[in-house]
Structure 1
Amino acid sequence: MFFAAYVDESYDLNIGVYILTANIVDLADAEETRSTLRGLQQGGEKLHWNKEPQQRRNESVKVVSAFGLASVSVIGRATHLRAERGRRKCMEVLLPELEQAGADTIMFEARQARNARHETTGTTSTWWTHADEKS
């Protein structure tokens, strides 16, 4: 078995909260899972929780909970939280947790080029820090 963790983010900087959540999927089941999730889309639009009416939210919860996926969530809080710092600090906790949960690979949603550069640097630093702790 080979497991992939799919990570999504949510944040509200006005209240100083940053959340990273990962669902861990056996890659043998990944295509069926993707196909089922695509069925939730309407008119090719991306499924976005905040924009969905309550009825669609309820339907989405039923579908996703039926997968029985393992999930890991990390919540960061700070008075004056900046998005990139919040993401980086949450990743410092999330990445080792995903490794411990058995994830072989981690997939993040696509980001703007400037943010992706920061993420790559932060991920590498976190990975090296964690690798040093194991030595």
Structure 2
Amino acid sequence: MTSTAYGDESEPDERLAPGTYVLALALIDDAVAEDCRESMRAAKLPAQRKLHFHSEGRRRRHELVARVAELEAVHLVAVRTAAQEHSERRRRMCLKAVLPELEYKFGIDQVALEARERRQNERDLALLVQLRSSRSMGSSLRMNHPRGPVEPLL
């Protein structure tokens, strides 16, 4: 069984959750991934390039949450709250917590994180190399950064 973790981040409103960074991942067996993709594609409105929870209204958000909950997936969330830290450090700390867990506990061999700027993606990959070098994790997990409109599971 081969599984992939699809992830994206969120930084809630600073007034409500100052210094909070959320990294959410859906762990999906590759055998059911295409069915899951189709379900998420079907949730898009005609003019949407991709689903983006932040831009949806309250009712639609509830519909999307219900749809995601129906997917054949395990959901893993890492949260870092540290108002004094830069956003990128909070991201690194979340990734440091979840990447070994994905590989060792869940047997994930591929992580797809939504693409950001090239340098930011490179920092994610450098962190993966650092975790391997420190023997915090093995070498089987691979990481890529597809663009949001291309991968509906993000």
> If the length of structure 2 is used for normalisation, what is the TM-score?
0.79
Paired residue type of 2:92: R
Using the TM superposition, name which of 68-77 and 7-16 deviates more: 7-16
* SS, match of residue 20 in structure 1: strand
State the aligned residue count. 132
Aligned-residue identity in percent? 31
User: 2:61 aligned with 1:86, yes or no?
Assistant: no
Match of 2:39 in 1: 36
Match of 1:5 in 2: 5
Q: Post-superposition, which runs of at least 4 consecutive aligned residues in structure 1 deviate over 4 A?
A: none
* SS, match of residue 112 in structure 2: strand
CA distance in structure 1 between the aligned counterparts of 2:96 and 2:34, rounded to whole angstroms: 29
CA distance in structure 2 between the aligned counterparts of 1:22 and 1:107, rounded to whole angstroms: 9
Match of 1:119 in 2: 124
**Distance of aligned partners of 1:50 and 1:13 in 2 relative to their CA distance in 1, 3 Å threshold:** closer
Match of 2:71 in 1: 67
CA distance in structure 2 between the aligned counterparts of 1:37 and 1:22, rounded to whole angstroms: 15
Q: RMSD in angstroms over aligned alpha carbons?
A: 1.7
Structure 2 unaligned blocks of 5 or more? 139-154
| Match for residue 77 of structure 1 among 62, 78, 81 | 81
* Higher RCO structure, 1 or 2 (CA under 8 Å, sep 6+): 1
Structure 1 unaligned blocks of 5 or more? none
1:44 shift after superposition: 3.2
1:9 shift after superposition: 0.7
Which structure dedicates a bigger proportion of its chain to helix? 1
User: 2:122 aligned with 1:106, yes or no?
Assistant: no
1:89 shift after superposition: 0.8
1:107 shift after superposition: 1.0
